[in-house]
């Protein structure tokens, strides 16, 4: 592991609002920089009452302004929702304001439901080749101006903002390998193909002007606390979110509960357990052992830590404990 980073979904909790969620994200980023996190990821979701980072570039600018060296990254921008030129301009603006600190992670999912997709004016007839072509168009906008080039991203042209491919299947792994780009796997909610995707990416990687060798990251959930029992208690907020999502009733993040069994049927809990399989939960010792196993299994270059926790102070503590664990591993 070369670095560890943080994925923040800017959770909006019951009884609160998006403004407070973004204030909490900013506070978390300030602490994360002090704790040694290398990168701060935020993700594009739409029409989700419990997530405040829909305007990802705007949210990342807010984070960057409050920090001095922490890299800011989209984890990710859902490229099919947007014109590549618009994304180049947005992230070119960020890179102009915060040089050397911006990464653009791209996904091909809509990050929302079908109705909202249409409201976003997402192309309904997009073919399988559209996403790779649009990634290459975006890469082109960040290159120096070519003779006769009619369309420029201003800001953006010549800035060579680093682009990542994000995914939870083999498609993204294959594309990242083909283009010679860094790759991040969303194992924090879609763990099934983690090992196969990492293998595919590494075996088929082609060196490029951006990378000479593969660079793979993977995300895990961490719910760290003073005890295993407290960690499991904190995790129930995210478990409730997933259950509500599966029922088609997503909403704001709920407070943790002592007993989840009364809120979900056994098959629903099994679905959630599968989705959250890549999760370290409990005391510092328990989380450290779990992370050791994950790093040994995956050999990722960068570990992405996430963990949506209802109470902001408990969330800060969890990320701090995770950073202490990872600092110890880097130094050992």
Residue 295 makes CB contacts below 8 A (sequence gap 6+) with 1, 303, 329
CATH number of the domain that 301 lies in? 3.20.20.30
pLDDT per position as a tens digit, 22-41: 999 999 999 999 999 999 99
Evaluate if residue 314 carries a pLDDT over 70. Answer: yes
Residue 320: which domain range?
3-224+279-331
Q: Confirm whether 153 is domain-assigned.
A: yes
Does the reported pTM lie above 0.85?
Answer: yes
The confidence score (pLDDT) of residue 246 equals 81
Average pLDDT (34-60) is: 96
Q: Confirm whether 132 is domain-assigned.
A: yes
Cα distances from 11 to residues 64, 67, 102, 114, 185, in angstroms, run 19, 20, 22, 22, 21
* Both tokens assigned to 262: 């009364």
Q: Confirm whether 88 is domain-assigned.
A: yes
Q: Confirm whether 236 is domain-assigned.
A: no
- What is the rounded CA–CA span in Å between residue 265 and residue 160? 49
Q: Confirm whether 262 is domain-assigned.
A: no
Q: Confirm whether 251 is domain-assigned.
A: no
Residue 274 makes CB contacts below 8 A (sequence gap 6+) with 191, 192
pLDDT per position as a tens digit, 242-283: 999 888 888 999 999 998 888 888 888 899 999 999 999 999
Average pLDDT (143-152) is: 95
Lookup result for tokens 């180049």 = 88
Q: Confirm whether 238 is domain-assigned.
A: no
- What is the rounded CA–CA span in Å between residue 179 and residue 97? 27
Q: Confirm whether 30 is domain-assigned.
A: yes
Q: How many domains does the chain have?
A: 1
């Amino acid at each position: 592991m070369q670095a560890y980073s943080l994925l923040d979904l800017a959770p909006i909790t019951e009884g609160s609002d998006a403004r407070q969620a973004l204030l909490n994200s900013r506070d978390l980023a300030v602490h994360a920089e002090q704790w040694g996190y290398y990168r701060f990821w935020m993700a594009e979701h739409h029409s989700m009452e419990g997530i405040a980072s829909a305007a990802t570039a705007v949210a990342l600018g807010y984070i960057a302004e409050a920090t001095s060296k922490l890299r800011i990254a989209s984890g990710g921008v859902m490229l099919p929702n947007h014109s590549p030129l618009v994304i180049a301009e947005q992230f070119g603006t960020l890179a102009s304001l915060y040089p050397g600190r911006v990464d653009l992670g791209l996904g091909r999912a809509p990050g929302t439901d079908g109705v909202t997709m249409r409201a976003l004016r997402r192309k309904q007839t997009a073919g399988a080749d559209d996403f790779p072509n649009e990634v290459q168009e975006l890469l082109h906008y960040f290159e120096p101006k070519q003779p006769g080039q009619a369309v420029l991203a201003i800001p953006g042209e010549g800035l060579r903002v680093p682009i990542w491919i994000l995914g939870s299947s083999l498609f993204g792994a294959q594309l990242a390998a083909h283009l010679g780009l860094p790759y991040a796997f969303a194992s924090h909610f879609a763990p099934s193909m983690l090992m196969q995707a990492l293998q595919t990416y590494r075996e088929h990687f082609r060196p490029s002007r951006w990378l000479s060798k593969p660079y793979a990251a993977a995300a895990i959930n961490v719910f760290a606390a003073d005890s295993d029992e407290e960690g499991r208690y904190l995790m129930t907020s995210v478990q409730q979110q997933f259950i509500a999502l599966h029922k088609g009733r997503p909403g704001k993040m709920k407070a943790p509960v002592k007993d989840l069994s009364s809120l979900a049927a056994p098959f629903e809990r099994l679905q959630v357990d599968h989705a959250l399989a890549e999760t370290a939960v409990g005391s510092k010792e328990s989380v450290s052992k779990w992370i050791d196993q994950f790093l040994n299994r995956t050999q990722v270059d960068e570990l992405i830590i996430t963990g949506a926790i209802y109470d902001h102070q408990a969330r800060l503590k969890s990320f701090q404990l995770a950073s202490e664990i990872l600092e110890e591993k880097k130094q050992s």
